[in-house]
Amino acid sequence: MTTNPSRIALVTGGSRGLGRSAVLRLAERGVDAILTYRSNEAEAHAVVREVQALGRKAVALQLDAGDSKSFAAFADRVKAALAATWQRQDVDYLVNNAGMGVDHATVAETTEAQFDLLMNVHLKGTFFLTQKLLPLIRDGGRILNTSSGLARFTLPGYAAYAMMKGGVEVLTRYLAKELGGRGIAVNTLAPGAIATDFGGGRVRDNAQLNAFVASQTALGRAGVPDDIGNAVAALLTEPNGWINAQRIEVSGGMFI
């Protein structure tokens, strides 16, 4: 008698913030993880231990989501990790979560270097990393890309960031169309303002900003990482395969 293989999610930026929450909430639902980190290896391995404490398996791999030239080698490391840890050749889910913010800057103030960094990580990185990992996603699997509420509503100072996230939302629809023959559903998750260390921790640490976010959110508070982690887990592990090519905002009803 054979047992069903473990489900495996590859979560970029899974060592902290929203990615960490997604990895842990998935583990609670029986999903193993390959999680990536950019520079803090100790932080990533702490998440691995948390996953193991929940009775699941996890592997941490280094990845610079803004360095597209490294993606082919990264895909090879994913293959090796799958073979060594799970005796498999593919993952069930890809969560493109890795990202970073920049200092608040209007269009007039945004530098070309800031623009290029955001583009390389959020847009070019998502496009070409997904491209390299497509052979490693099982037919019938799912891809979840990360956008932002800022692609719907407008706050001065975030134009470049929001542009990249708008591009991710378009990419999601094209991926869904092109991968339909493989039965792979592709959606976008768009968080609202979340109290994490993202963007220097402004929503978490600036009481005035936190209060402003709460005042503009129907549920009366800023989001927390588990609001997003639980949404990721629900979208991937529930029988939601017919949800496809959609933008799902998880913002508590911000600016409605």
Residue-level pLDDT at 199? 63
Q: Distance from first CA to last CA of the chain, Å, rounded?
A: 53
Residue-level pLDDT at 200? 66
Find the CATH number of the domain harbouring 138.
3.40.50.720
Residue-level pLDDT at 4? 58
CA distance 133 to 131: 6
Cα dihedral sign, 50-55-61-67: negative
Tell me which DSSP letter residue 82 carries: I
Residue-level pLDDT at 2? 38
Per-residue pLDDT of 95-118, as tens digits, reads 999 998 777 899 999 999 999 999
Q: Which residues contact 119 (CB under 8 A, 6 or more apart)?
A: 164
Find the domain containing 52 and state its range. Answer: 7-250
Collect the ranges in the chain with pLDDT lower than 70. Answer: 1-4, 198-202
CB 120 within 8 A of CB 153: no
CB 208 within 8 A of CB 32: no
Q: Across the strands, what pairs with 93?
A: 9, 142
CB 61 within 8 A of CB 36: yes
Q: How many angstroms separate the Cα of 166 from the Cα of each of 108, 129, 149, 225?
A: 20, 18, 10, 22
Q: Where are the alpha helices (DSSP H) in the chain?
A: 17-28, 41-53, 71-81, 112-118, 125-133, 159-179, 202-205, 207-215, 225-237
State the catalytic residue, choosing from 93, 158, 161, 174: 161
Residue 1 counted as domain residue: no
Residue 33 counted as domain residue: yes
Q: How many domains does the chain have?
A: 1
Residue 108 counted as domain residue: yes
Structural tokens at position 15: 């060592």
Q: Across the strands, what pairs with 116?
A: none
Residue 47 counted as domain residue: yes
Per-residue pLDDT of 70-94, as tens digits, reads 999 999 999 999 999 999 999 999 9
Residue 74 counted as domain residue: yes
User: Could you give the percent of the chain with pLDDT greater than 90?
Assistant: 89
Whether 93 is a known active-site residue: answer no
Residue 255 counted as domain residue: no
Residue 55 counted as domain residue: yes
Residue 196 counted as domain residue: yes
